[in-house]
Amino acid sequence: MPGRYDARIEEAANREKLMQLVGFRIGKELFGVDILMVQEIIRAAPITAVPNSLDFVEGVINLRGSIIPVIELRKRIGFYTAEAALKGSWILILDIDGRVTGFIVDSVTEVLKIQESRIEPPPDIVVAGLETQYIRGVCEIDQKLLIILDFSRLLMVDEIKKLKQMHFAQAS
Protein backbone atom coordinates (compact mmCIF):
# COMPACT_ATOMS: atom_id res chain seq x y z
CA MET A 1 0.00 0.00 0.00
CA PRO A 2 2.89 2.48 0.25
CA GLY A 3 2.64 3.26 -3.49
CA ARG A 4 -0.96 4.45 -3.20
CA TYR A 5 -0.15 6.53 -0.10
CA ASP A 6 2.83 8.16 -1.86
CA ALA A 7 0.64 8.99 -4.87
CA ARG A 8 -1.94 10.68 -2.62
CA ILE A 9 0.73 12.75 -0.90
CA GLU A 10 2.16 13.82 -4.25
CA GLU A 11 -1.31 14.67 -5.57
CA ALA A 12 -2.06 16.76 -2.49
CA ALA A 13 1.28 18.56 -2.84
CA ASN A 14 0.52 19.35 -6.49
CA ARG A 15 -2.90 20.73 -5.56
CA GLU A 16 -1.25 23.02 -3.05
CA LYS A 17 1.11 24.47 -5.68
CA LEU A 18 -1.60 26.47 -7.38
CA MET A 19 -0.76 29.82 -8.85
CA GLN A 20 -3.57 32.37 -8.90
CA LEU A 21 -3.54 34.78 -11.81
CA VAL A 22 -5.72 37.63 -12.93
CA GLY A 23 -6.48 36.99 -16.59
CA PHE A 24 -6.72 39.85 -19.08
CA ARG A 25 -6.84 40.34 -22.82
CA ILE A 26 -4.97 42.48 -25.25
CA GLY A 27 -6.50 41.97 -28.67
CA LYS A 28 -7.17 38.26 -29.09
CA GLU A 29 -4.35 37.20 -26.75
CA LEU A 30 -4.87 36.04 -23.18
CA PHE A 31 -2.38 37.12 -20.52
CA GLY A 32 -2.04 36.58 -16.80
CA VAL A 33 -0.45 38.38 -13.87
CA ASP A 34 0.16 37.03 -10.38
CA ILE A 35 -2.87 37.99 -8.28
CA LEU A 36 -0.60 39.05 -5.41
CA MET A 37 0.65 41.98 -7.53
CA VAL A 38 -2.85 43.30 -8.28
CA GLN A 39 -3.99 46.11 -6.00
CA GLU A 40 -7.18 46.79 -7.89
CA ILE A 41 -8.82 46.87 -11.29
CA ILE A 42 -10.58 50.03 -12.42
CA ARG A 43 -12.46 51.24 -15.47
CA ALA A 44 -10.46 53.63 -17.60
CA ALA A 45 -10.02 56.91 -15.75
CA PRO A 46 -9.10 60.37 -17.05
CA ILE A 47 -5.36 60.29 -17.75
CA THR A 48 -3.23 63.43 -17.56
CA ALA A 49 -0.49 63.45 -20.18
CA VAL A 50 3.04 64.15 -18.97
CA PRO A 51 5.44 65.96 -21.30
CA ASN A 52 8.66 64.17 -22.31
CA SER A 53 7.48 60.83 -20.95
CA LEU A 54 8.34 57.45 -22.45
CA ASP A 55 6.36 56.63 -25.60
CA PHE A 56 4.38 53.84 -23.92
CA VAL A 57 3.46 55.96 -20.86
CA GLU A 58 0.01 57.45 -21.36
CA GLY A 59 0.35 59.75 -18.36
CA VAL A 60 -0.78 59.72 -14.75
CA ILE A 61 -4.04 59.28 -12.86
CA ASN A 62 -5.06 60.50 -9.45
CA LEU A 63 -6.41 57.50 -7.58
CA ARG A 64 -7.76 58.59 -4.21
CA GLY A 65 -4.96 61.11 -3.76
CA SER A 66 -2.13 58.95 -5.12
CA ILE A 67 -0.52 59.93 -8.41
CA ILE A 68 0.01 56.75 -10.42
CA PRO A 69 1.80 56.45 -13.78
CA VAL A 70 -0.22 54.62 -16.42
CA ILE A 71 1.39 52.48 -19.12
CA GLU A 72 -0.29 51.43 -22.36
CA LEU A 73 0.59 47.73 -22.14
CA ARG A 74 -0.10 47.25 -25.87
CA LYS A 75 2.67 49.70 -26.72
CA ARG A 76 5.10 48.28 -24.18
CA ILE A 77 4.86 44.72 -25.44
CA GLY A 78 4.63 45.61 -29.12
CA PHE A 79 0.93 44.89 -29.80
CA TYR A 80 0.05 48.48 -30.65
CA THR A 81 -1.86 49.41 -33.80
CA ALA A 82 -3.75 52.61 -34.62
CA GLU A 83 -7.16 50.90 -34.47
CA ALA A 84 -6.26 49.35 -31.11
CA ALA A 85 -5.73 52.77 -29.54
CA LEU A 86 -9.41 53.07 -28.60
CA LYS A 87 -9.84 49.58 -27.15
CA GLY A 88 -8.18 49.84 -23.74
CA SER A 89 -10.95 50.30 -21.23
CA TRP A 90 -9.54 48.79 -18.03
CA ILE A 91 -6.57 49.70 -15.88
CA LEU A 92 -4.81 47.08 -13.78
CA ILE A 93 -3.26 48.78 -10.75
CA LEU A 94 -0.23 46.70 -9.80
CA ASP A 95 2.29 46.91 -6.98
CA ILE A 96 5.59 46.06 -8.62
CA ASP A 97 8.36 45.85 -6.05
CA GLY A 98 6.82 48.75 -4.11
CA ARG A 99 6.06 50.87 -7.21
CA VAL A 100 2.35 51.27 -7.89
CA THR A 101 1.72 51.49 -11.63
CA GLY A 102 -1.35 51.26 -13.85
CA PHE A 103 -1.49 49.20 -17.04
CA ILE A 104 -4.15 49.74 -19.69
CA VAL A 105 -5.63 46.47 -21.01
CA ASP A 106 -8.58 45.68 -23.28
CA SER A 107 -10.51 43.57 -20.80
CA VAL A 108 -10.12 41.62 -17.59
CA THR A 109 -11.34 38.04 -17.72
CA GLU A 110 -11.29 36.16 -14.41
CA VAL A 111 -9.12 34.81 -11.64
CA LEU A 112 -7.38 31.70 -12.92
CA LYS A 113 -6.01 28.92 -10.75
CA ILE A 114 -3.22 27.04 -12.46
CA GLN A 115 -0.97 24.31 -11.18
CA GLU A 116 2.60 25.58 -11.34
CA SER A 117 3.65 22.29 -12.93
CA ARG A 118 1.48 23.15 -16.00
CA ILE A 119 3.39 26.38 -16.64
CA GLU A 120 6.09 25.92 -19.25
CA PRO A 121 8.96 28.29 -19.90
CA PRO A 122 8.58 30.32 -23.07
CA PRO A 123 10.38 28.90 -26.12
CA ASP A 124 14.04 29.95 -26.41
CA ILE A 125 13.42 31.82 -29.62
CA VAL A 126 10.83 33.99 -27.85
CA VAL A 127 13.12 34.97 -24.97
CA ALA A 128 16.25 35.38 -27.08
CA GLY A 129 15.67 39.14 -27.31
CA LEU A 130 16.21 41.31 -24.24
CA GLU A 131 12.82 42.95 -24.80
CA THR A 132 10.94 39.71 -24.08
CA GLN A 133 12.54 38.80 -20.76
CA TYR A 134 9.24 39.71 -19.08
CA ILE A 135 7.49 36.54 -20.29
CA ARG A 136 7.43 34.27 -17.26
CA GLY A 137 5.85 31.28 -18.93
CA VAL A 138 3.00 29.90 -20.98
CA CYS A 139 0.16 27.57 -20.15
CA GLU A 140 -2.70 26.06 -22.13
CA ILE A 141 -6.19 26.92 -20.90
CA ASP A 142 -9.30 25.82 -22.79
CA GLN A 143 -7.23 25.13 -25.90
CA LYS A 144 -5.76 28.67 -25.86
CA LEU A 145 -2.34 29.73 -24.73
CA LEU A 146 -2.11 31.95 -21.69
CA ILE A 147 1.01 34.12 -21.56
CA ILE A 148 2.11 34.83 -18.00
CA LEU A 149 3.90 38.16 -17.68
CA ASP A 150 6.51 39.03 -15.08
CA PHE A 151 5.76 42.70 -14.53
CA SER A 152 8.83 43.15 -12.33
CA ARG A 153 10.91 42.59 -15.51
CA LEU A 154 8.66 44.54 -17.89
CA LEU A 155 10.55 47.81 -17.54
CA MET A 156 14.26 48.43 -18.00
CA VAL A 157 16.24 50.17 -15.25
CA ASP A 158 16.40 53.48 -17.12
CA GLU A 159 12.63 53.34 -17.76
CA ILE A 160 11.98 52.81 -14.05
CA LYS A 161 14.14 55.85 -13.24
CA LYS A 162 12.17 57.95 -15.74
CA LEU A 163 8.87 56.80 -14.19
CA LYS A 164 10.12 57.72 -10.71
CA GLN A 165 11.12 61.17 -11.96
CA MET A 166 7.69 61.56 -13.52
CA HIS A 167 6.02 60.57 -10.24
CA PHE A 168 8.08 63.04 -8.21
CA ALA A 169 7.45 65.84 -10.71
CA GLN A 170 3.68 65.31 -10.46
CA ALA A 171 3.75 65.04 -6.65
CA SER A 172 5.50 68.37 -6.16
Whether the per-residue pLDDT at 75 is higher than 70: the answer is yes
**Cα(31)–Cα(63) distance, integer angstroms:** 24
Neighbours of 70 (CB within 10 A): 23
Q: Is the pLDDT of residue 153 over 90?
A: no
Cα angle vertex 75, ends 156, 31, to 5°? 85
Mean pLDDT of 85-109: 86
The whole-number average pLDDT for the span 142-155 is: 86
In the chain, where the domains are located: 18-171
Assess whether pLDDT exceeds 80 at residue 49. yes
pLDDT at 136: 87
pLDDT at 164: 64
On average, the pLDDT of the chain sits at 80
Q: Which CATH superfamily is domain 18-171 in?
A: CheA-289, Domain 4 (2.40.50.180)
